[in-house]
Amino acid sequence: GAVVSQHPSRVICKSGTSVKIECRSLDFQATTMFWYRQFPKKSLMLMATSNEGSKATYEQGVEKDKFLINHASLTLSTLTVTSAHPEDSSFYICSASPGTSGSYEQYFGPGTRLTVT
Amino acid sequence: AQSVTQLDSHVSVSEGTPVLLRCNYSSSYSPSLFWYVQHPNKGLQLLLKYTSAATLVKGINGFEAEFKKSETSFHLTKPSAHMSDAAEYFCVVPVGGYGNKLVFGAGTILRVKS
């Protein structure tokens, strides 16, 4: 149980275009979803937290107009990288939690490798 | 602010020998602490979690970790490494409670030699 999928697993796009990444909880309802970014040989950094039906809460330094997050249902959250540039190339990972309080585990997706050329 | 420091970026062991991955934490109180493992092309998987119930925590795949308040440490150990243990391991502290924001250590890549 507790499976989270991401699509696509890899994407290459041209500079200036937008890319959408999907995160789905397959066998549970995800009240809260999180988006992380992992730079090469670095740890994961939380980008934003989203609760179903609410606006996402972005971490300091993350451009909300560039990284659009939509958590429209209890099983789906999307991250859209708008007007992507080479510096946006990274590994993006989502996680999902069945609750909002501090007693629920986060389940992670396998990640999406974004390359902007 | 809560944070974790993983003391080794890479650890290399031979198959069948013990594994020790080190993690120190910084917190003004006794925090919850987790270890996650990341295999290539797979999602992060929770290995074990400490939530103040018992200082010695047993996890999956034979891993365990001991919370030592006097040393502010939460080192991950396994008596005998297996080739399938080769992966990246993250020590993690939740901010605001379990399930809320997670702060990750820098990660330790474990290599297992045959």
pLDDT, tens digit, 9 for 90 and up, residues A13-31: 999 999 999 999 999 998 8
Q: Note the pLDDT tens digit of each residue in B66-105.
A: 999 999 999 999 999 999 999 999 999 887 654 478 889 9
pLDDT tens sequence across A48-104: 998 888 889 999 999 999 999 998 899 999 999 999 999 999 999 999 988 766 566
% residues pLDDT > 90 (chain B):
68
For chain A, helix, strand, coil in percent to 5 are 5, 50, 45
Contact between residue B89 and residue B97 where contact means Cβ atoms under 8 Å apart: no
Please check whether residue A25 touches B, CB under 8 A.
no
Confidence grade of residue A42 (pLDDT, cut at 50, 70, 90): confident
> B39: which chain A residues are within 8 Å (Cβ-Cβ)?
none
The number of beta carbons lying within 10 Å of the beta carbon of residue B26 is 12
pLDDT above 50 for B111:
yes
CA distance A80 to B8: 35
Preferred mutation among A51, A106, A112 to probe B, highest tally of B CBs within 10 A: A106
Q: What is the overall mean pLDDT for chain B? A: 90
- On the question of pLDDT at B5 being above 80, the answer is yes
The answer to whether A105 faces chain B, any CB pair under 8 Å, is: yes
Per-residue confidence (pLDDT) for residue B32, from 0 to 100 = 86
Chain A neighbors of B36, CB-CB under 8 A: 108
Phi-psi region of B13 (alpha: psi -120 to 50; beta: other; left: phi over 0): beta
- Work out the average pLDDT over B16-25: 97
